[in-house]
């Protein structure tokens, strides 16, 4: 059953996607409030990585069909 997701796997991926979206939103929002340049660069990197992760998770959910 390669390339297919069980229902519980799809639900777990959706939970992870929701969490990553929340983290991405928080980092992007807090970035403007931070005064420390080092912390700002860390948050910028987190936003960049977070966007990639969200895209990857979305691709996984779109490409895989659910096995019941």
Partnered with residue 5 across adjacent β-strands are: 66
Q: How confident is the model over 49-64, as a mean pLDDT?
A: 91
Residue 55 pLDDT level (bands cut at 50, 70, 90): very high
Partnered with residue 65 across adjacent β-strands are: 4
**pLDDT at residue 1 in the model:** 43
**pLDDT at residue 68 in the model:** 66
- Mean pLDDT (the chain) is 89
Q: How confident is the model over 47-65, as a mean pLDDT?
A: 91
Q: Is 31 within 8 Å of 47 (Cβ atoms)?
A: yes
Tens digit of each residue's pLDDT (9 = 90 or more) over 17-37: 999 999 999 999 998 899 999
């Amino acid at each position: 059953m390669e390339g297919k997701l069980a229902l519980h796997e799809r639900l777990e991926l959706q939970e992870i996607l929701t969490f990553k979206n929340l983290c991405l939103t928080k980092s992007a929002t807090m970035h403007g409030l931070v005064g420390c340049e080092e912390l700002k660069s860390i948050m910028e990197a987190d936003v960049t990585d977070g966007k990639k992760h969200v895209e990857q998770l979305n691709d996984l959910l779109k490409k895989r069909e659910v096995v019941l």
